[in-house]
Amino acid sequence: MHPTVLITGANRGIGFEIARQLGRLGWRTLLAGRDAEKLNAAAQALAAEGYAAEPLLLDVADPGSIAAAAREVLQRGLTVDALVNNAAILLKEDTALVTNPAEVLEKTLRTNVLGVREVVHHFLPLLKNGACIVNLSSGGGSMSDPVGGWSPAYCVSKSALNALTRQLAYELAGRQIAVNAVCPGWVRTGMGGARAPRSVEKGAETPVWLVAEAPRRLSGRFFRDKREIEW
């Protein structure tokens, strides 16, 4: 039986490429997202390449949608071997913490941090012991690198996601569930833009490694290019 991975924000960009690379390795993918049409198209594209992929409606900013998606997976009789929290937002109006409306930070945190917590909460009963959780973070969330001055609400959310990753790793250690964060680098996606120096294939490489190859004893850590980096 194929191991199963659930990937949020999987209809395009890094999430879709993670699904493709894991499909190549024999994984069954649940493509989670909030747009049914785009999800169906992504699943069909992967199926055309010979990979097992199924769409799953899930809006990470809506706890009710997350709960409904977990019930749907349960009804399908599936358990989950890996969870990749890839979905995130970076708002165009995210230019300054002090002068921007508070809603910019609130909306960003709701999706990029609280949404991850809700997905883990609702899918935890479906995660196998010895599974893994991979959270897509950013160098912008680093507490050791200099502040870059770009998209500060997004960067704050990724710092919070890194902290969430460490706490989840501690709480889930008893079930041998590895929880790690990944900085994929600046990648040519809809979010990263055409000028980004990295390919989507490179951006997906480390999440795929953590899911399919890395030992589960690696947990509560931050990775870039398959190497641990400072928080």
CA–CA gap between residue 14 and residue 30 (Å, rounded)? 15
Query: CB 118: neighbour CB atoms within 10 A?
Result: 20
Structure tokens at 93: 């109006």
Structure tokens at 60: 């990470």
CA dihedral 128, 130, 131, 136 (to 10 degrees): 150
CA–CA gap between residue 195 and residue 208 (Å, rounded)? 24
Structure tokens at 85: 């929290």
Structure tokens at 80: 């989950």
Structure tokens at 32: 């989670």
154 is catalytic: yes
Given 27, 51, 123, 154, the catalytic residue: 154
CA–CA gap between residue 222 and residue 230 (Å, rounded)? 7
Residue 217 in 3-state DSSP? coil
Question: Which positions are catalytic?
Answer: 154
